[in-house]
Structure 1
């Protein structure tokens, strides 16, 4: 045990004897495994044929009503193998959770579809945990890799705050990350891809029927909101000027109009586009909405945030996360994940057969061509090389951007309420993968859902003001960009080189970095 205390609302999994359980935690035994997890976590045994085959723990919302009391029962006469049945259970859950399968000689750990309750592991211990510092033997002072941290963050125009690291890498020696759509084989301590399988989805290159997928998503989301409203007493949902929050608002129309789900927005200035649009929507439709006064994190709170998240989330949420403490709710419903439906990493010139290598993908991630990042993505490519380019890029978003950035940030959010992301529900992700490419390029998915559920909401602009303030925003952005160029010419030069550099120049940089390492 090191001097670094385990952060709140995390866990670790070990076969070693647990001699000390941290305050606010409990230890749950499963055969030869010990799960030390936060007291607030739900822990559900999974039973098949009357025997326990595993557990699911975290924030667990049973969408398909398989839960019976404090356990999940698969039935006494399974038609499918244990592994398939267990994975099917996970597919029908919503929330932030980890599944541990331990039956018939199979020992596996599964994260949820976006790793909102992350899984990292240390092969040599061996221990699985939510973050590196949740592993008892890991020390920040000894194991943190400042060299990699600086290499990843310094070149980016984000005040050096875009620190998420793709692939299996973490900033701690010996600790690797398990990406979404993979399980960890606890016999070999190796990550294995299990989704997508053949027959589980249509290729994104071909797409499905847009009308059918839209209808499926609408019905599924409405069911999810009904389940959320039946479990929680005070659900709250952010309303911004963006498309995904408007999508969720439209789907949850009945629950929002009757006040079951309340709305809020960070900040209240009418010179900020989010409260500007949210205030008008709420006023016009008489919705329960309020602005939240932004509370900035102290230096110590930001330090605690970085350590809780494994130092992979240094963006704006780190600075303002205490704002959520004033939210009068027991669950926060967020819109992260809709980017899969808009081909976030696609480029206009991309086609199903376009060849994209790890260096190009790092460019799309806005990451430097560091040799360790390249090697990490080369290993990831081995599992997706047979897929069309569209599907590969969408998996890159789900697994690297969500799994390595969006998921870990939940470890730093204030305790006291749950965090649920409906668009991360596995069947929703599957539907987004099946949308036709032309719909995704045009970013029509959210507006089509709004048109289906609450068409008047499409009358308000997206990410834009309704009046002259749009010109103010453009002018302010220009001044801010000029100030950045003057104050940090190195950063500005790097941005321009990334935007206009030739591929030969990129290859030369990579070769130089390889020589130096």
Structure 2
């Protein structure tokens, strides 16, 4: 079995798999799969400052293997330019005599680490090739009930002594302890800025997404996902001036949600003259699903593994541009009234993401809440949890399962976007208009077609979806929670706000 896009940091080079690169960073060795780009980091004096592994977008350019990037050291281990870095990457920095490890802003190439063994890697599957890792079935059991997928929030994994490095944290290798670098006491990110202009912040996010989409298109990565949802519509809006380079694609599968995606994507393609095609869903054999789970170390057991053959068969040999992370800038887990609340419990926070509340899940979430500085608004706690739980704990490990060299790339994934979203006033976020204002700023005509809903007589073809929207999201979640408890079936609201 090969392990594309993976890596390991240890006290010696990893030579077990053919073609892997080995780079020394102080007293440690970072060994990387052959397709993983490496970028040298220097400070302003031209001195070595660290190493970037992964796919990095910086100031409108997709960096290439062998490039050198100049960054400026600053407090808390983050370089001054960190929020400008987009893409999927692992960052190793010289911090005095120490080495600090950080993920990208959403943890989309997030690692796991064992403090006692002093090793870090992309997945437990790679770690187990260096040192034994103890599976803990009780953790999996704790996260199984009540939802349709299994993934591990708050930096947890299904292994004893193994943690996931979350975004907004730095892991210092002198003691192998992770510490929060954002938000901090008396700093930004604790609550929305009531004096901020929402239109200006939305424009900032939209301009940044547009810049990163342009960087990918300029580098020849011209395939984009198109669905009926908010996030792909925001990506489409950012492509308005570059449509001649764009090739949109929609998976064609036989289920209600996908039928609506195909219907809306087809409408968009016809009305706005998009280059668009349907990609047939390829049913995966069990052996392919088992291999996907093995490559991820079983840190994710989710419907995305059903796509493993589809992704492989239709691999275009380049990055595909997707909308992952768009949910994080539009407060998708909010209920009405969240902007005025002063407290949210660990159990309720878990419930927003469909995670069952029990001793294990509540315990790790309470520990996570304790890392937050005083003065955090409930809204910012919810939005930050989506980044550090869902993106890092689900989207991050999922990338290692697919047997392709180029992962999908999200133009939303940057500190600049996420921090602008966290600065939006809570009263504005509660209005649930971020996505529409984003689209209106870049390409308002796209709003003529409904998002996630059919229009006219076609509503009758998707009547179940229409009936769902008659019930407020918070009522739906309460109903689904009761059904989960009574029946054990895996109902989920799936970010329908």
Decide: shared fold, TM above 0.5: yes
Partner of 1:379: 367
Counterpart of 2:15? 20
Q: In the TM superposition, what whole-angstrom CA distance separates every residue of 1:291-338 from its partner, at most 9, and x where no partner exists?
A: 100012211111122222232332221112322331536111111222
Structure 2 match to 1:30:
25
- The DSSP-based 3-state class of the residue aligned with 2:336 is coil
Report the CA distance between 1:364 and its aligned residue. Answer: 2.3
Query: How far apart in 2 are the matches of 1:147 and 1:180?
Result: 26
Judged with a 3 Å threshold, the aligned counterparts in structure 2 of structure 1 residues 417 and 14 are, in CA distance, closer, same or farther, namely same
Q: 2:309 is paired with a residue of what secondary structure?
A: helix
- How far did 1:262 drift? 0.9
**Using the alignment, how far apart are the partners of 1:207 and 1:132 within structure 2?**
45
Shift in alpha-carbon separation, 1:310–1:173, aligned structure 2, 3 A: same
| 8 Å contact from structure 1 (residues 241, 274) kept in 2 | yes
Answer whether contact 1:251 1:449 (CA < 8 A) is retained.
Answer: no
Between the aligned partners of 1:212 and 1:279, the Cα distance in structure 2 is 32
| Match status 1:335 vs 2:323 | yes
Go from structure 1 to structure 2 and tell me whether the alpha carbon gap of 1:68 and 1:418 turns closer, same or farther (over 3 Å shift).
Answer: closer
* Higher RCO by CA contacts (8 Å cutoff, separation 6 or greater): 2
- 1:84-103 → structure 2 map (5 Å cutoff): 87-103=79-95
The alpha-carbon distance between structure 1 residues 304 and 67, as it changes in their structure 2 partners (threshold 3 A), is closer
Partner of 2:412, secondary structure, is: helix
**1 CA distance for matches of 2:461 and 2:223?**
31
**Kept after mapping to 2: 8 A contact 1:241/1:463:** yes
The answer to whether the Cα contact below 8 Å between 2:453 and 2:466 also exists between their aligned partners in 1 is: no
Deviation of 1:23 (Å): 1.9
Question: How many angstroms apart in 2 are the aligned matches of 1:83 and 1:475?
Answer: 50
| TM-score, normalised with respect to structure 1 | 0.83
Instruction: Kindly name which structure, 1 or 2, has the bigger radius of gyration based on alpha carbons.
Output: 1
Asked if residue 437 in structure 1 is aligned to residue 426 in structure 2, the reply is: yes
**Equivalent residue in structure 2 for 1:265, among 246, 250, 254:** 250
2:298 maps to what in 1?
311
Are the structure 2 counterparts of residues 35 and 52 from structure 1 closer, same or farther at C-alpha, using a change threshold of 3 Å?
same
For residue 470 of structure 1, report the CA deviation from its aligned partner.
3.1
Q: Secondary structure at the match of 2:171?
A: strand
1:364-400 superposed Cα distances (whole Å, 9 cap, x missing partner): 2322222222221122111215112111111111101
Q: Identify if the C-alpha distance between structure 1 residues 150 and 359 changes in structure 2 by more than 3 Å, giving closer, same or farther.
A: same
Match of 2:476 in 1: none
2 CA distance for matches of 1:447 and 1:223?
19
CA distance in 1, matches of 2:65, 2:298: 38
Q: Is the 8 A contact 1:47 1:71 kept in 2?
A: no
2:95 & 2:272 partners in 1: Cα distance?
A: 53
Q: Does 1:177 align with 2:164?
A: yes
Contact 2:146 2:490 in 1 (8 A): no
Alignment pair present for 1:236 and 2:240: no
Rate the CA distance shift 1:100–1:6 in 2: closer, same or farther, 3 A.
Answer: farther
Q: Any idea what the Cα deviations from partners look like across 1:238-294, whole Å, max 9, x if unmatched? A: 1111111111101111212x1x12100011779710010111111122211001000
Instruction: Give the match for residue 187 of structure 1.
Output: 174
Match of 1:101, SS state, is strand
TM-score, length-normalised on structure 2? 0.87
1:45 to 40, 44, 59: 40
Specify whether residues 148 and 270 from structure 1 end up closer, same or farther in structure 2 by C-alpha distance, changes over 3 A only: closer
Q: Tell me the distance in 1 between the aligned counterparts of 2:70 and 2:430.
A: 40
Match of 2:471 in 1: none
Distance in 2 between residues matched to 1:95 and 1:148, nearest whole Å? 30
Counterpart among 57, 63, 74 of residue 61 in structure 1: 57
2:143 equivalent to 1:152: yes
Listed as ranges, the matches of 1:406-417 within 5 Å are: 406-417=395-406
Question: Post-superposition shift, 1:363?
Answer: 2.4
> Which position in structure 1 is the counterpart of 2:460?
471
1:493 partnered with 2:486: yes
- The answer on 1:251 being equivalent to 2:276 is no
Unaligned runs of 5+ in 1: 479-488, 500-517
For residue 242 of structure 2, give the secondary structure of its aligned residue in structure 1: helix
How far the C-alpha of 1:46 sits from its partner, in A, is 0.9
The verdict on how the C-alpha distance between 1:371 and 1:6 changes in structure 2, with shifts beyond 3 A counting, is: farther
SS at match of 2:338: coil
Instruction: Report the more deviating stretch, 203-212 or 389-398.
Output: 203-212
Select 2:199's aligned residue among 211, 216, 235: 211
2:356 maps to which residue? 368
> Are the structure 2 counterparts of residues 118 and 50 from structure 1 closer, same or farther at C-alpha, using a change threshold of 3 Å?
same
Identify the residue that residue 108 of structure 1 maps to in structure 2. Answer: 100
Give the C-alpha shift of residue 455 in structure 1: 1.8
- Label 1:276 to 1:92 Cα distance change in 2 as closer, same or farther (>3 A): same
Which residue is equivalent to 2:274?
Answer: 287
Going from structure 1 to structure 2, the CA distance change for 1:36 and 1:498 (only over 3 Å counts) comes to closer
What corresponds to 1:424 in structure 2?
413
